[in-house]
Amino acid sequence: MQALQKRTSLFNSLVQSVIAHHDADFWLQKVNPLWSINQSLARVVKKQVVAKDTVSLILECNRHVARGLAGQHHPVTVEIAGRHYERTYSLMQLDADHLCLTVKKVDQGLVSSWLVEKSQVGDILRLGQPYGDMQQSIQTPKLLLLAAGSGITPMLSLIESLSQTKQLNKTPVQLMYWVKTHQDAAYTDYLKEIAENFPNFSYQIFYTQEQDQRLNQNHVETLGALNEITVYACGPSGFASTAESLFVEAAVVQTEAFSLSQFSAEQTDIGFINVTLTKSNKTVAIPKGQSILSSLEQQGIKPNHGCRMGICNKCACTKAQGATKNLLNGAANQEPTQLLKICVNSAQSDLVIDL
C-alpha cells in the first residue's frame, strides 16, 4: 500500500509539473513568444525568395534550441489549421542567435507549401534535436560537394561553416550543383561571393532541363585522383545512388537522399500485402510498392515518424517476419527479427511488425 501511495504521489507531482510548465509558458509567451520553460522555439524574423518556389527564413532562436553541426538536420514542427506537423530540414547557423531555414516547395507537400506560401514574419516554429552523419570531418586533401535540388541546403551549411572557421583558406572545396533551370538555382550570389573571397572554393551549376547534364562519368573524369577526395552528396534517391556508384573509388563517400525517386515502383510491385500490427492487434492490406509508413497513414493509422527519409529512426520498429525492400537503394530483406524503417521500406510479402 505504501509503495502504491509513493507511485501515486510521484505521478501527481509529474502531472503538476507538466501543468505548471504549460501554464507558465502560456503567460510567458504573452510577453515574448520565444519565452518558454523548456520548449525549443524559433521566430521567423525575415523571409526572402531565393529561387523558384524556394524561400529562406531567418529564425531567431530561444536559449533551448540546440545548434547542430554543419550538415546536420533539425526536426521542424509547424502549426497548420490547428494541427502540428513535423518535417526535417538542414539549417545554416548565421550567428549565436539566428539560423537560416531554406525550403523548396514540394508537389503536394503540405508543410513545404505552407512554409513557402503562407509563413510570415513573426510565426513561431518548434525545433527538435539535430541529427545526421554528414558533418564537417575532412580527412583528405580535397572535399567535393554534390547537390541536386534541395540537396543544396546541407552543403550551404557546410560551406558557411568552412568559411567562418577559415578552413577554406587551406582546404580545396568544389561544389557541383544540379537544378532543373536557371530559376531553380538558389543562393547564386552567395556562392559567387564565397568563390571571390576564398580562392580554394569553386562551384559549377548544371541545368538538367536546359542542358541535360546529369551527374555522369564525365564529371568524375575532371576531378583527378579520387583517393584524395572526400565526397558528400545530397539529393533525390536516384542522384544519391548514382553518386555512390560513380565515386566508389573515392577515399570517403557519404550520401543522403530526401525522396524515393528511383526504386519507389517497379512493374512487379503490384497487388496488396497483409501487414499484422502486433501492438495494435490489427491486420491491414497495403499496396506492395509503396512505403509502409505512407500506406498505414492512408489506412488512418498514425505511426511515430520524423524525417520520412530514413535518417532519424523515429519510425523504426521490429519486423518479426516477412520480406521488405528498401525504396532508396532497392535492397531486399527477408530476415526475421530485423529493425525496419517503415518510411523507406515497402512490403514484398505478408509482414508482422511491432506497431
pLDDT, position 269:
61
pLDDT, position 264:
42
Measured between alpha carbons, how far is 58 from 26 in angstroms, rounded to an integer?
24
| CATH top class, domain 41-127 | mainly beta
Cα-atom radius of gyration of the chain, to the nearest Å?
Answer: 23
Measured between alpha carbons, how far is 75 from 89 in angstroms, rounded to an integer?
7
Measured between alpha carbons, how far is 91 from 77 in angstroms, rounded to an integer?
14
Q: Is 91 helix (H, G, I), strand (E, B) or coil?
A: strand
Q: Which of 188, 189, 194, 134 is nearest to 166 (CA)?
A: 194
pLDDT, position 136:
62
Is the CATH number of domain 142-257 3.40.250.10? no
Nearest-10 Cα torsion for 247, 311, 50, 97: -120
The parts of the chain modelled with pLDDT lower than 70 are 1-23, 25-26, 28-30, 133-137, 259-270
Crossing angle of the two packed helices 152-164 and 188-197, in degrees rounded to 10? 30
Task: For the chain, give the percent of residues with pLDDT over 70.
Answer: 87
pLDDT, position 194:
96
Is the CATH number of domain 272-353 3.10.20.30? yes
pLDDT, position 31:
74
> Cβ(70)–Cβ(135) under 8 Å?
yes
What does the block give as the cell for 56?
A: 529562406
pLDDT, position 30:
67
**Where are the chain's structural domains?**
41-127, 142-257, 272-353
pLDDT, position 140:
86
